């Protein structure tokens, strides 16, 4: 059996390791390049920290299935999340994760999301009005910023029962604070030493304080209107917290509220931005998607939740442009991965996209071809290779909501507007920027209303 020292990998420097070869904003691209050079299991160092990188999807899936007992989130991630106030189900490990997971899953099950659908229609109607104003004025839309307003409004409505309506506000909104958290988290995760504990970043701290105040407000409002049974995720968390012997604390509730805001904003918004960009660049797929939504009533859950070609576009976007191209874990005990002895607490980097763009697993693997996901299409077990929501016991609890949001936005966009352009800052290919999640840089969307206006999303909004 091999040891980590026996693995191939890029040569580094004493003490620094491969630190000088890494640009944090493109770490995923660098690691994917190394995987093509050194194979599906390789090693590298960031300072004194040794990392084992995995690029084989079958190996990664086996590791993910061993969570939470065999592998867990890194100790540094959990520590930073606690420091920043969002140590919810995403970053929790062990017993803390087991206590929190059931209440979060209950808030995002398909039945709960279906009952929320009328509110989703109303939020989407607001979104459409915002884009209608931009189309009428001929102004370019900051695509990700607008999508993030939408996803935060949806998350706040579903999970917290709060109508914060950032879509109709031009003031400094909660996103201005949320947007600073993931980049700061990512910078701290990759730092050779925990510098922020000696030299605090006052700007980041101000954003953290502002978010904590917003979260306290959500919790206070929920307590004031508590019902039995609970009507949403935050009420369910408060009820669970108040149950004798639950083991949950006020910090658990606050941490999960902030976690839901962060996870609900960035991931869905960035996937939507990538999908709109890719469809614009592939007119036949765009035409097919537009034709599909033209036959759908957008205020009918069963019709919107179907949309098989839009669903295929979502899956193909997440295969090519996963918003989480890297997943960092640590084994809880000495273990073996792909024939390599891996000691307890070793940092393991899972490259979530490497297998999904491998020509050995997909024909024309780097092409945007949504049809490969449709029934009868020939693909190499695509859902087992592309794992945008993870796999195993810690599969993303918000996946049903995320997919429904994406279908709703695409149906609204393609039924009401013509896409004039989706432009990048330099006119070239959209650049990938990693800051914990992976986003396209600076997309600007121009829309025109269709000659014949579509029916409203709902009879009354």
The two three-digit tokens of residue 345, written as one number? 């607490």
Answer yes or no: are the C-beta atoms of 45 and 53 closer than 8 Å.
no
- Which stretches of 241-344 are assigned E, i.e. beta strand? 326-331, 335-337, 340-342
Given the candidates 1.25.60.10, 3.10.180.10, 1.10.10.10, 1.10.630.10, the CATH classification of the domain at 2-449 is 1.10.630.10
pTM as predicted: 0.92
**What tens digit of pLDDT does each residue of 4-28 get?**
999 999 999 999 999 999 999 999 9
**Torsion angle of alpha carbons 402, 403, 406, 408, nearest 10°?**
-110
- pLDDT attached to residue 343: 97
- pLDDT attached to residue 452: 55
- pLDDT attached to residue 125: 95
Task: Give dist(CA 413, CA 88) in Å, integer.
Answer: 33
Better-scored residue on pLDDT, 359 or 43: 43
Under 8 Å CB-to-CB from 67, ≥6 apart: which residues? Answer: 329, 392, 393, 394
**What tens digit of pLDDT does each residue of 218-272 get?**
888 888 888 777 777 788 788 888 888 777 778 888 888 888 888 777 899 999 9
- pLDDT attached to residue 382: 67
- pLDDT attached to residue 54: 98
- pLDDT attached to residue 455: 46
Residue 22: how many other CB atoms lie within 10 Å: 16
419: pLDDT confidence band, cut at 50, 70 and 90? very high
- pLDDT attached to residue 291: 96
**What tens digit of pLDDT does each residue of 138-150 get?**
999 999 999 999 9
Answer yes or no: are the C-beta atoms of 183 and 296 closer than 8 Å.
no
Answer yes or no: are the C-beta atoms of 189 and 303 closer than 8 Å.
no
For strand 340-342 and strand 2-3, is the pairing parallel, antiparallel, or unpaired? parallel
Domain boundaries defined on the chain: 2-449
- pLDDT attached to residue 460: 35
**What tens digit of pLDDT does each residue of 286-343 get?**
999 999 999 899 999 999 999 999 999 999 999 999 999 999 999 999 999 999 999 9
| Mean pLDDT confidence for 353-364 | 91
Under 8 Å CB-to-CB from 58, ≥6 apart: which residues? Answer: 384
Residue 30 predicted with pLDDT over 80: yes
**What tens digit of pLDDT does each residue of 88-124 get?**
888 888 888 888 887 777 777 788 788 889 989 999 9
Under 8 Å CB-to-CB from 125, ≥6 apart: which residues? Answer: 456, 457, 458, 461
Task: Give dist(CA 117, CA 231) in Å, integer.
Answer: 14
Burial 409-435 (b: 16+ CB within 10 A, else e): bbbbbbbbbebeebbeeeeeebebbbb
């Amino acid at each position: 059996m091999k040891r980590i020292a026996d693995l191939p990998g890029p040569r580094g420097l004493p003490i620094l390791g491969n630190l000088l070869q890494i640009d944090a904003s493109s770490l995923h691209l660098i690691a994917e390049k190394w995987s093509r050079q050194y194979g599906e299991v390789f090693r590298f160092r960031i300072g004194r920290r040794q990392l084992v990188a995995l690029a084989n999807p079958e190996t990664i899936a086996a590791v993910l299935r061993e969570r939470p007992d065999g592998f867990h989130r890194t100790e540094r991630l959990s520590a930073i999340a606690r420091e920043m106030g969002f140590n919810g189900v995403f970053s929790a490990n062990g017993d803390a994760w087991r206590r929190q997971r059931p209440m979060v899953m209950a808030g995002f099950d398909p039945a709960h999301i279906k009952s929320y659908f009328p509110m989703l229609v109303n939020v989407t109607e607001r979104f459409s009005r915002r884009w209608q104003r931009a189309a009428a004025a001929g102004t370019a839309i900051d695509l990700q910023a607008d999508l993030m307003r939408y996803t935060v409004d949806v998350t706040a409505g579903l999970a917290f029962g709060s109508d914060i309506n950032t879509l109709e506000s031009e003031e400094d909104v909660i996103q201005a604070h949320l947007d600073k958290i993931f980049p700061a988290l990512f910078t701290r995760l990759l730092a050779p030493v925990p510098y922020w504990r000696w030299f605090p970043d006052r700007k980041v701290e101000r954003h953290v304080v502002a978010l904590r105040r917003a979260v306290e407000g959500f919790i206070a409002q929920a307590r004031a209107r508590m019902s039995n049974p609970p009507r949403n995720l935050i009420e369910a968390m408060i009820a669970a917290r108040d149950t004798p012997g639950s083991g949950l604390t006020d910090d658990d509730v606050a941490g999960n509220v902030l976690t839901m805001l962060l996870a609900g904003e960035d991931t869905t918004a960035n996937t939507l931005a990538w999908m709109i960009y890719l469809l614009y660049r592939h007119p036949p797929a765009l035409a097919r998607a537009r034709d599909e939504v033209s036959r759908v009533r957008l205020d009918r859950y069963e019709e919107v939740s179907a949309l098989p070609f839009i669903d295929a576009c979502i899956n193909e976007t997440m295969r090519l442009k996963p918003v989480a191209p890297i997943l960092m874990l640590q084994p809880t005990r000495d273990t073996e991965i792909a024939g390599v002895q891996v000691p307890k607490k070793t940092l393991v980097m899972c490259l979530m996209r490497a297998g999904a763009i491998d020509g050995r697993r997909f024909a024309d693997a780097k092409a945007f071809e949504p049809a490969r996901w449709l029934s009868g299409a020939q693909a190499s077990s695509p859902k087992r290779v592309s794992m945008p929501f993870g796999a195993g016991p810690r599969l993303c609890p918000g996946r049903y909501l995320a997919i429904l949001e994406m279908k709703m936005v695409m149906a609204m966009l393609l039924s009401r507007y013509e896409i004039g352009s989706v432009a990048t800052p330099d006119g070239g290919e959209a650049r990938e920027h990693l800051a914990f999640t992976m986003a396209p840089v600076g997309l600007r969307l121009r829309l025109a209303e269709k000659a014949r206006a579509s029916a409203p999303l709902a009879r009354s909004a």
